[in-house]
Structure 1
Amino acid sequence: MAKTPDFTKPFQDMMANLPVDTSSMTEAFKSQAQLSERMTRVALQAAERSTEISAAWAKDTLARMGELTTSKDQPADYAKAMSDFASAAAELAAEHMAAYAEVAKKVQMDTVDLLLNAGKEAQADAQRMAQTATTNIQNVARQAQDAVTNPGNKDKA
């Protein structure tokens, strides 16, 4: 039976001879980690503020409930208390929803700012990596050309 050729060694040799700059990958990883940290900070701040709004809303509602549950002398007073509670609840809802909208607006603005800055950094990193790769490939091409034109001098290749 025919054996499948093992390309492991030639492939390892080829990869060992390619000029690879791992510092660019390290920098890319660091940039991504920093972006993640900033995005997490934005999300956590939004969650904290949203929790504060929810707690204030619940506290205000419970305070209004206390007024609603007091005993009344006349049945009409119960209807008025319920009406007052409903209008106060609607007012509270509008106020707190506006506060939530402000949180969402701030998160959106911060996220867009972070992503724009990350895009600029990524573009600069990519340009720097491309320049380094181009220089390395040109050097390897020169060495290969020198090896072909001067076969007796193997120290350069």
Structure 2
Amino acid sequence: MATPRVSIQTADFDLGAEVSALRATDPGVGAVASFVGTVRDRNDGLGVSAMELEHYPGMTEKAIEAMIDEALRRFDIRAARVIHRVGPLAPLDQIVLVVVTSAHRGSAFQACEFLMDYLKTQAPFWKKEHTPQGARWVDARVSDDAALERWGIAAGNAGPAA
């Protein structure tokens, strides 16, 4: 059975196992680029003791599938895999994995960065941080919207800079 391109899950993931599975049957792969995002213990100057991630089941997977299709159209890549965790997470926990394979490194790097820029701004996730001052929902950042705009996609999710 083929590995799915998108997984939304509460369980942790293994970078090495995911990379091996993505490239296992494709001898044309000459490059693998990956990104792993983790929970930090600080954000916007406040300590973060925990984070909760929520999503809209079905809609989230469909949106990320469409994003991978767009990456396949834009870049000379062979495959992509996105895993995003939901539920309660603690500092040091892994949140997101993006892995891209291609024949050459340039395309793999570009597509990996494109997919992460999209995930940060367009994927339907909601993030709540727990700080000493209480829980707070996290808004998109203007810098994340700007990163997506360089790919020709206007996000407009972020509020004004504080």
Structure (1/2) with the larger strand percentage: 2
Select the structure with the greater relative contact order (CA < 8 A; seq sep ≥ 6).
1
Structure (1/2) with the larger helix percentage: 1
Normalised by the length of structure 2, the TM-score is: 0.23
Normalised by the length of structure 1, the TM-score is: 0.23
Which one has the largest radius of gyration?
1
